[in-house]
Amino acid sequence: METVPIGVSSGTASVLGLKRIRLMEKPTTAHVLFGEDCLNRCAFCAQAKGSRSAPNHLSRVTWPRFSWEALKGPLAAAISQGAFKRVCVQTVECPESQGPALEFLREVREMSPQVLLSVAVTPVSVARVKLFFEKGATNVGLPIDAASPEVYARVKGGSFERAWAVLEKAARLWPGRVSTHLIVGLGETEEDAVRFLARAKSAGITVGLFAFTPVRGTAMEKTPPPDVSNYRRVQLAAYYLKRGGNAEKIELRDGRIASIDLDRTDLRREVLAGKPFETSGCLYCNRPYYTERPGQVMMNYPRALTEQEALEALSECGLASART
């Protein structure tokens, strides 16, 4: 494999024994990063063109770089021991990222025919998505990030509908294997988020929810993260839709989620256990502390919640229909 340095998220590097940090929660997906100095200008992203963030950052995570030679043995061992059930390749939009990322996928697939393998790439074309599936990806993530055309144009630049067209076409070609990301807190309303989630659901697209986190050096460094109550309501709506709920039954008032019908017994049981507040997205992608620091409110729990945590998260929703 071409010898380019590969970014490895600090949590992943710790599980692999490549970095010594104390982990409060272990990641169950190994995250790696290809490329740097992105050509895109996403206002929230540390890798974006124009960002003054420290290098080797994405979200609030640091990504120390390692050679494939250093990474290969520990990664193979961690996969065979079941420490990682998925590997996710994040790519920065630059000419240098695609070739090595494809090569990495091929190597990992050769290493383990079974391990789940995701890649996250800018939704530019379906032809590009095909390249990643051909190299052994089980899932391709095409992050749209912003919930509405207005927020997309302001925060990312470009056309929301063009990005959705690639996403929806890919989902038709590879049913059940295409996902996207939605970042809550970029200036959208909860109604925008519900519309986004319902659209993704009707196209069979999995959504990974992220809470916006301001990163120093980015254009949005001074924007506060979303209010926990706002995030919890969107999490609850996302879970409700994922588990067969009907978007029409999410009551919206002045752009805000006012109530969600949780009458089904099985759904109610899962909600009371805190399932909606666990990290969402591809299976086994738990992303511990991706958007929050240890000790802060956990926007996404990387594990099952305790009874107390579930009750707190539910009451943070501030919805009468979500109370016990």
Residue 236 binds to ligand SF4 (criterion: CB under 6 A)? no
Q: In whole angstroms, how close is the CB of 32 to ligand SF4 at the nearest point?
A: 10
If residue 27 lies in a helix (H) or strand (E), which one and from where to where?
A: none
Q: In whole angstroms, how close is the CB of 259 to ligand SF4 at the nearest point?
A: 28
Residue listed under structure tokens 């956990």: 298
131 or 252, CB closer to ligand SF4?
131
Residue 178 binds to ligand SF4 (criterion: CB under 6 A)? no
66-84 CB burial, b ≥16 within 10 A, e <16:
bebeebeebbeebbeeebb
Residue ranges in 122-141 that form contacts with ligand SF4 under rule CB under 6 A? 141
276 or 281, CB closer to ligand SF4?
281
Q: Which of 9, 51, 56, 179 binds ligand SF4 (CB under 6 A)?
A: 179
Residue 300 binds to ligand SF4 (criterion: CB under 6 A)? no
- The secondary structure of 85-134 as a DSSP string is SEEEEEE-SSTTTHHHHHHHHHHHHHH-SSSEEEEE--S--HHHHHHHHH
Residue 29 binds to ligand SF4 (criterion: CB under 6 A)? yes
36-46 CB burial, b ≥16 within 10 A, e <16:
bebebebbbbb
Span from 3-11, 103-111, 280-288, 293-301 in contact with ligand SF4 (CB under 6 A)? 280-288
Residue 182 binds to ligand SF4 (criterion: CB under 6 A)? no
Phi, psi of 253 (to 5 degrees): -135, 125
Residue 205 binds to ligand SF4 (criterion: CB under 6 A)? no
Q: Which of 285, 310, 313, 314 binds ligand SF4 (CB under 6 A)?
A: 285
Q: In whole angstroms, how close is the CB of 103 to ligand SF4 at the nearest point?
A: 18
The residues facing 32 across adjacent strands are 8, 89
The residues facing 301 across adjacent strands are 278
177 or 232, CB closer to ligand SF4?
177
